[in-house]
Structure 1
Amino acid sequence: MALMRIGNKIVGEGRSTLMFAEEGQANQGDVEVAIGMCNTAAKVGADGIEYQLFLADDMYVRNDPGHAIYKSRELSSTQITDLIAATHAAGLLCQVAGLSPKIIELCAEAGADVFCVNASDLTNPVIIDAVAATGKPFWLATLMATTEEIDWAVEYAMSRCRSDIGLLHGQHVMSSDTSRGVPPELLQLDCIELFKRRYGLVTGFVDHTATQFVPSIASAKGAAMVMKHLAPEKNWQGPDWVVCLDPEAWKDARSMLEYTVQANGASKEISQAEFKDRSIHRRSIHTSAALSAGHQITPDDLVVLRPGKGGMDPRVVHELVGRRVKHDLPKQSQLQFEDLV
C-alpha cells in the first residue's frame, strides 16, 4: 500500500484526498499578492498551496524574451522565507515547484513541506537532484511526458533519494491560443490507477480544466491529491487564468471533492442506518392459507411477503417443504421455526 507523508498529513491508499490551491505565478512578482493568495486558499478550505518559484538566470538564456519576463517576477530570498512562514501561519501545507536549484535549497531551509519537479523539468536530472538533496517528499509531474520519460524519471529519482516520492498525472495545453483548458477526451483519468499499478507510487492529479467537478472525479478515480488553480478574485485575468477558479467556485469544487471522499470506500458492511430499512423492505416466509396441526408443507403453502422483521429468512423457503406444522396456523401467518415439528 503506497503512502506518502507531507508535513502532518499522510496521503495514499485509504486516506482522504488532499486538495491544494495552485498559485502558480498569479503573484507576478508581488509577494503581497502571493500572501493574499495564501490567505484566500485557507479561507476556501485548501489543504495546501503550491508556489512556482525560480531564478530567471537558471531558466533562460539572457537574450530570450522569457528571461526578462521571469526576471520581473522573481521574489527575493527574504520574501520567499516570509511567504513560507505566512503559509504555515495560515494553516496550510507549503508546496514549491522550484525551477532553480538555489531556490529549492532556500525553500527547504525555510521549511517548505513538499516539492514538485515541474513537468518541464521531468527529464532534468539537475532539478531532480536538487529536490532529492533536500530530504523532503516530492512529486514528479508527468504532464506532457511520454511513458518512457516517466519510466526514466521514476527510476532516476528513486536511485537518488530515500524520501517519499509521488507522481502527478495531468495535461498541459495552455499554450494554445484557443484553449479553455483540457477537454474531457484528453483527461485520461484512468492513468491514475495505471500509474499506481505500474510504479507502486502515490499518485495525484493536476487539474487544468475550467471546471469545478473534475477534482471530485479525479478523487473517485483514486487521486491522492488534486491541484487546482486559484484566482485571487472573480473575473481576474493573469497567468493560466483560463483554468483558474475564483474563490467561491474553488470552495464549491472543494465541497464536491469532500462529498466524493466521503462516498468512496470498498467496505460492504451494513451501516446502522440500513438496518431499519432492512426490517421494513426485506421479506419473510408466511403461510399462503390456513394450515392445520400436522399438515405437511407443500410449495403452495408458503409465500414470501413483507415484513421481514422477526420472520424466517426467505433463503430457507425450499428447505421447509415436507416439514409438518406443530399447531394450527392462520392464513398469512409469519412462520417461525417453533411452528414446525
Structure 2
Amino acid sequence: MKKINIDGRVIGPDQPPYIIAELSANHNGQLETALKIIEEAKRAGADAIKLQTYRPDTITLNSDLPDFQITNGLWKGRTLYELYEWAHTPWEWHQALFEHARKLGITIFSSPFDTTAVDLLEDLNAPAYKIASFEAVDLPLIEYVARTGKPMIISTGMADAEEIQEAIDAARGAGCEQLAILHCVSGYPAPPEDYNLRTIPDMIERFGLVTGLSDHTIDNTTAITSVALGASLIEKHFTLDRNGGGPDDSFSLEPAELAALCRDAKTAWQALGKVDYGRKSSEQGNVKFRRSLYFVEDLNVGDVINHDSVRSVRPGYGMPPKFLEKIIGKKVKNNVIKHSVVKREDIDEC
C-alpha cells in the first residue's frame, strides 16, 4: 500500500486524511496575523500549516505589458507583479513562522517557486515541499526539490495526464522517493461541478501514488466527498476572516470551518472501514427488534407443531422466520411453554 511520511506522520489510504491549512496570502501583510493563523490551524486540528515562498521578482517580471495584466477574476486590474508584491510572505518572516509552528507542535512546510526559495527552506530544515499547480510544468524546479531528498506533494491543477506523468517522472528521476499528488482545479474559487472527483480513483490507479485534493471550493462538501473516493490528503486555504479583504480570504475557510473539516474528514474515513456484511458492535443490543419464531401455546413431548403453535414475532432470539414452514408438522421433543423461543433442539428431525 502506497504511503509517505511527513515529519513523523504517516500519510496513506490506511491513515486518517492529512489536513493541510494553506496560509497563502491571508496574513494580509501582518506578521502577527500570520502567527495567529498558525495558532488557529493548530487549534482546529490541522496536521500542517503551509506557506508560499516567493518574492514578486522570483515569480514574474515587473511589466505592465498585456501578457502581465490580470483582466478577470478576483485580482482583475492588477499586474502579476502587483499581485505578488501584495500577496507574498516576506522571506524575513519565515524563520519566525517556522519557530512558532514548531513551538506549537504543528508541522510547517512551504511551496517554493524557484530554487532560491528551496535554498531558504532548506536552511530552515523544511520537512517537505509542495509544488503549486502552476509550477507543475516547471520540471527543473521539481528536480531541484527532489534532490533535497524530502517528501514532495505536487498539485495538478491545469495539468493534463501527460503533464502529470512528466512531473512525476521528473521527481522520481531526480531521486524523490516519497511523492504524493493532489487533484486540483485552479479556479479561485472553483465551482464544485468543475472538480469531477471521480478523477481521484483514476489517478490512484493510473499513477500509483498517495493522492489527495487541493480544494478551492468555498465549503467542505467537496473535500469530505473526496475522502470517500480515496483522498489521503486535503489542502484548503485558511484565514481568520473571510471578509478580511486579502488576495485569498474570500475562498478560504475560517477557524470553525477548518475544525469541522478536520473532524468530518476523519469521520468520513472511519465510516469507509472495510467490506463487512456481519453484525456490527452497535447492532448487538438490537437483536430484540428482529423477528424470529416463538411458541404461542403450550406443547408436550410428541405434540405436532401447526400454524397455531408458532408465530413470527419480535424479538429475534429464536429460529429465523424462514424456517416456519419447515417446522410445521414436526413434533416437539421436549415440553415447551407458551411465549418461549423456538429452538432446533426442541424439534424432532430439525
Instruction: Please classify the TM superposition score into its range, dividing by the shorter chain length.
Output: 0.7 to 0.9
What is the CA deviation profile of residues 316-340 of structure 1, one whole-angstrom value per residue up to 9, with x for unaligned ones?
Answer: 5455456431244455542223322
**Identity in percent:** 26
Q: Does 1:190 align with 2:198?
A: yes
Determine the structure 2 residue equivalent to 1:245: 253
Distance in 1, matches of 2:309 and 2:122, equals: 78
Structure 2: which 5+ runs fail to align? 69-78
Instruction: List 4+ stretches of structure 1 deviating above 6 A.
Output: none
Asked if the contact 2:53–2:91 (Cα under 8 Å) also holds between the matched residues in 1, the reply is no
Q: Which amino acid in structure 2 is aligned with residue 326 of structure 1?
A: K
What's the CA shift for 1:26? 2.1
Change (3 A) 1:160 1:301: farther
Q: Which amino acid in structure 2 is aligned with residue 126 of structure 1?
A: P
Asked if the contact 1:84–1:111 (Cα under 8 Å) also holds between the matched residues in 2, the reply is no
Q: SS state of the match for residue 181, structure 2?
A: strand
Higher RCO (CA < 8 A, seq sep 6+): 2
What is the CA deviation profile of residues 49-85 of structure 1, one whole-angstrom value per residue up to 9, with x for unaligned ones?
Answer: 1101114333223435434553566556553223222
Q: SS state of the match for residue 150, structure 1?
A: helix
Query: Once structures 1 and 2 are overlaid, which stretch shifts more, 226-235 or 3-12?
Result: 226-235
Distance in 1, matches of 2:257 and 2:182, equals: 23
Distance in 1, matches of 2:223 and 2:99, equals: 27
Distance in 1, matches of 2:344 and 2:120, equals: 76
What's the CA shift for 1:194? 1.3
Q: What is the total number of aligned residue pairs between the two structures?
A: 333
Change (3 A) 1:114 1:270: farther
Change (3 A) 1:326 1:204: same
Determine the structure 1 residue equivalent to 2:234: 226
Distance in 2, matches of 1:321 and 1:53, equals: 79
Q: Does 1:110 align with 2:124?
A: yes
Distance in 2, matches of 1:151 and 1:241, equals: 32
What's the CA shift for 1:218? 2.1
1:338 is matched with which residue: 330, 337, 345?
A: 345
Q: CA RMSD in A?
A: 2.6
Change (3 A) 1:327 1:270: closer
Determine the structure 2 residue equivalent to 1:8: 8
Asked if the contact 1:165–1:202 (Cα under 8 Å) also holds between the matched residues in 2, the reply is yes
Q: Which amino acid in structure 2 is aligned with residue 334 of structure 1?
A: V
Change (3 A) 1:102 1:211: same
- In the TM superposition, what are the counterparts of 1:1-341 in structure 2 within 5 Å? 1-28=1-28, 30-63=30-63, 65-67=79-81, 69-71=83-85, 78-174=92-188, 181-233=189-241, 235-268=243-276, 270-278=279-287, 280-287=288-295, 291-297=299-305, 302-309=310-317, 311-314=318-321, 316-317=323-324, 319-320=326-327, 323-330=330-337, 332-341=339-348
What is the CA deviation profile of residues 224-246 of structure 1, one whole-angstrom value per residue up to 9, with x for unaligned ones?
Answer: 11111111335211112221122
Distance in 2, matches of 1:194 and 1:266, equals: 20
Distance in 1, matches of 2:247 and 2:87, equals: 12
Asked if the contact 2:26–2:247 (Cα under 8 Å) also holds between the matched residues in 1, the reply is yes
Q: Which amino acid in structure 1 is aligned with residue 144 of structure 2?
A: A
Distance in 2, matches of 1:270 and 1:240, equals: 48
What is the CA deviation profile of residues 67-126 of structure 1, one whole-angstrom value per residue up to 9, with x for unaligned ones?
Answer: 455356655655322322222212111121110112112213312122111111111111
Asked if the contact 2:52–2:89 (Cα under 8 Å) also holds between the matched residues in 1, the reply is no
Asked if the contact 1:167–1:202 (Cα under 8 Å) also holds between the matched residues in 2, the reply is yes
Q: Which amino acid in structure 2 is aligned with residue 219 of structure 1?
A: V
Q: Which amino acid in structure 2 is aligned with residue 274 of structure 1?
A: E
